[in-house]
Structure 1
Amino acid sequence: MKSRRVIFFLFDQVHLMDLAGAVTVFYESGCCGQPYELRYVSPYQQPGVSCGLAFTNLEPLEAVTITSTDILILAGMDLSKWNRADDIKWIPWVQAAAATGAIVCSVCTAAFALAVAGLLDGRSCTTHWGYTAALQQHFPKTQVVENRLFVQSDNIFTSAGISTGIDLALNLVEQDHGPAFAYKVAKDMVIYIRRDGTATQQSVHLQHRQHINHQVHQVQDYIAHHLSEKITLHDLAEMVYSSPRNLTRLFKTLTGITIGQYIKELRHEKALQLLKEDHKLSWVAQATGISSQGELRLLARMAGRSGKLA
């Protein structure tokens, strides 16, 4: 059976991680037994990278004709150096690709290119959180969604900043080969928690760590690694040589949520991931420390499962 093609489109001053993250997912898929044919195209002979590197041996756009079974991914670029005088070189090609019904994706700031090409008119979309307001302002026909990893609108996918190209690529691999295989690829890439498009741009474990307090970091790390166990405030406080009252106050001040809320959110995030990997609910309950059957059934429905406690 012929491998599905994934064509990566490079602008000048492309961001390396925007490209490499998605490339690695499809490359690792091949290492795990489901190969893709990877192609690299650009309207430029030697596009530069925003970090100072350069690419060679890329195919010109006219050398690749997109078909309905292809995946086209436009990697994000440095918008401050984006040469709009070259639009005529690539817009018709990208528009023609979308018209075939092929999957067309943007990573990070490449959403602006899809908007320029008119492919986001009337569509829900997203981009890096630092550019969502600008995307909506400059392209009022778009429906920009904030704080999402990626958004699908028919055959058009837009992802948020940098590493979310990995999440989008894993989602596409999952659509082709199922969640168990996508999990295998994620595990091979040493990705701890694979996120879907409905998740926020930061996982629970990350979004409450924007502080430098060692005690609270130690508590957060302990919780993340002991979700299957009973976690008490007394034990956490003793571990960091604090009183329960002081730890409670410090944790809420630095993270914005209580210790109990943090434990619950981490358990829910882990449970949803395990359920999407098709683990039995009884095992998920044991692995996450969630004892409520009603809570598990609700999470199972959110993960697209029947909710049977088998």
Structure 2
Amino acid sequence: MCCVIRKAQGRRAYVTMLAGDYDEALIGAVGLVKGLKKVTSQYPLVVAVLPDVSEKDRKLLASHGCIVKEIEPVIMASYVTDYSKLRIWELEEYDKMIYLDVFVQVFENIDHMFDYPDSYFYATLDCFCESWSHSPQHKIGYCQQWPNMDQMDPTLGPKPPLYFNADMFVFEPSWVTYRDLVKTLQTSRTTAFAEQDLLNVFFKDKLVALAPHYNLLLPMLWRHPEAVELDRVKVVNYCANGSKPWTYTGKEENMEREDVKMLVNKWEEIYSDDSLDYKETLTSADGVFRDWRCRIHLRPICCLIIRASWEALL
């Protein structure tokens, strides 16, 4: 089993999570660590992996400078992978961490977020305008991203509580917090957004809402353009259908937009930048990625990038 152990730099780190033999997520993780290097972040990226992540995938992550840490799954009747994300609270060797989903990219340095005051939970608010038909917010026609959300029509009932997106947040690892999260999970009903719903309930009194440019949800571009300042965007969340750069075709709804194309191209520029590759590469003796081209089915530009990376290791 591959295990990469390094001293925690300043006891701070970014963290993401990987499960199974999911090539798109693996590519996202590699793109993410290269993005952090591009913006000259001073802190490492920890990749929390479940036991089903293969040895060669762990070696790929290590070859890009990631700190690979195995976590155990949180066993539930459903959403096991989603709830296993709670395990990152067990990483007590770090005082503070910033969680970044593998489907986001960092375009400006956000290291200053580690200096935010302790004992709070920092995240950006979600948008209820897409794929939220199950939610009470959507059913009453409400979105917390309204510019005048504090003036909600009282005939619609009480204003729903703030709800954050859990693809990027600042937190403090703590085994006690992990224990309490699991206790809350065990007494809660399963909901559509799994761990995100749970975290919103658990941290509702500690939430500090961040500006949208700290985690730009792509639907904000067409749902709430007045709230978006592209020149200020620090983190982009490729959560919209068809927006993942490695499978982007531009055919899905809203994907033909110029701002979407620009953000997809920015991700590709980082991923294809060889100067951002970690220098401590693995040798061909490790036999890594020899079936890479058979496993990945991506748009042509990403295939070329992956092929070049694969050949460099042979």
- TM-score of the superposed pair, with normalisation by structure 1: 0.27
- TM-score of the superposed pair, with normalisation by structure 2: 0.27
Higher relative contact order structure (alpha carbons within 8 Å, sequence separation ≥ 6)? 2
Q: Of the two, which has the highest radius of gyration?
A: 1
